[in-house]
Structure 1
Amino acid sequence: MRLRKMSAVIATAVAAALSLTACDGADNSDAGAAASAPAETSAGPGSPGGAGTTDAAESSPGGGGQASASASAPGSGAPSASSAGDMCRTADLSFSSSGGMAEGEVLIDLENTGSASCSMHGFPGLDLKGEDGTVSAERTSGRSAPTVTLAPGERTNFSLRFPPNTTGGSGVTFTSALVTPPDETHSHSVPLSVNIPAGSGSASRVTVTPVGSGK
């Protein structure tokens, strides 16, 4: 009877010891798990991985450079630096003719009758007209065109050159010249008497010099 009680006491003590050991192991396991778990990061607005990172990307030099280039581009409505306001217009010019330095040459005079200075540069257009038809003068080759500026009342000229009719025949007679100043589209008719030989080749020898070169 005494031996049975002692066995029961021993069994109870062993069970208690085993239970305490198991509890200690569990506590140590939980502590180890807690120690080995990674720290939790926050992606909130104030954290480096949240809105702060996005802001840094948006303010990078690449994005800022494109915005700056777009803002500095000139607008389509920028005023043009060029202006044709000082160009001599047909309506502000008077036209006349005078004898040239040689046979077969006529000077066409252009006077500024406007209220402001104007300028011309280049070859004029000129068509000789008569009962026998029309001949368009060609540009004289090898002649450079000066820029001529005329104050109100000033004049300039250019030369009309043609083969004079020395054949003894009637030739071809023109009674007027239709003159168009450089860079203009409006013409002015000048009374003129020009007689050239009949036949092929004569018309191609009718030429004009640049404005300002006939002085």
Structure 2
Amino acid sequence: MRLRKTSAVIAAGVAAALSLAACDGRVDSGASGAAASAPPSTPGSEGAPSGSAAPGATPGPDATEGSGRGDTQASASASSPAPRPPSGDTCRTADLSFSSSGGMAEGEVLINLRNSGSTACSMRGFPGLDLKGEAGTVSAGRSNGRSAPTVRLAPGEGTNFSLHFPPDTGGGSGAVFTSALVTPPNETRSHRMSLSVGVPADPGSAARITVDPVGSGK
């Protein structure tokens, strides 16, 4: 999707709405920049509306800290967190490769995770995902009605999860995100990847950005 510059008035409204959702996370080992800090009860978001100063240091080009944490217990909205995989068996961010592909419907993107390590690993639960752009940062919420299967990956095998968002189909000046921080379930390190997502520039857009559990899709 083509990157568009959000106006100062619209971007301010979007950034205010987007900053409501965030969760904890730490950078991948290749990170070269410091992330913005925030009070424990309300994790901060990197980035700011066009024309205003960012609250923290600019992240490095390869990886950075995300407010979304890929922990099955990260969201207070989850009625009962999914069990963790056995200790020592969890798929680690450093041993995964990340890519994206088109989903089955408009407003859906598949985030693909592949085991690039030398041993089998497993994961279960919701990932963390932060979208970042000129308008600010938004942390995806959890979709409803999806069970979280245990996914076991041999070396070279892959799985995915779906990112859902309200597509910007009005042809107006929407909010454009150009990258994503992805945190696998039960991990604390995030991977930064390029991802183009455009949503309408209204406060209700943030609440409609959600992710499914890993491995629950087609």
TM-score interval, smaller chain = 0.5 to 0.7
The match for 1:138 is 141
Q: Does 1:101 find its partner at 2:104?
A: yes
The match for 1:11 is none
Confirm or deny: 8 A CA contact 1:139 1:208 kept in the other structure.
yes
The match for 1:213 is 216
**SS of aligned partner of 2:91:** coil
Q: Does 1:147 find its partner at 2:168?
A: no
Q: Which runs of 5+ in 1 are unaligned?
A: 1-81
- The runs of 4+ residues in structure 1 deviating greater than 2 Å are none
The match for 1:125 is 128
Structure 1 residue 214, shift from structure 2 partner:
2.3
Structure 1 residue 213, shift from structure 2 partner:
1.2
Larger radius of gyration: 1
- The aligned runs of 1:33-52 (5 Å cut-off) are none
Identity over aligned pairs, percent:
75
The match for 1:46 is none
Give the TM-score taking structure 2 as reference length.
0.60
Confirm or deny: 8 A CA contact 1:107 1:214 kept in the other structure.
no
**SS of aligned partner of 1:187:** strand
CA 164–134 in structure 1, closer or farther in 2 if over 3 Å, else same:
same
**SS of aligned partner of 2:204:** coil
Confirm or deny: 8 A CA contact 1:196 1:202 kept in the other structure.
yes
The match for 1:116 is 119
Q: Does 1:203 find its partner at 2:206?
A: yes
Bigger relative CO (Cα 8 Å, ≥ 6 apart): 2
Q: Which has the higher helix share?
A: 1
CA deviation vs aligned residue, 1:72-102 (integer Å, no higher than 9, x gap): xxxxxxxxxx951111000000000000000
CA deviation vs aligned residue, 1:148-191 (integer Å, no higher than 9, x gap): 00000000000000000012212000001100000000000111
Confirm or deny: 8 A CA contact 1:104 1:161 kept in the other structure.
yes
Q: Which runs of 5+ in 2 are unaligned?
A: 1-84
Give the TM-score taking structure 1 as reference length.
0.61
2:182 to 179, 183, 192: 179
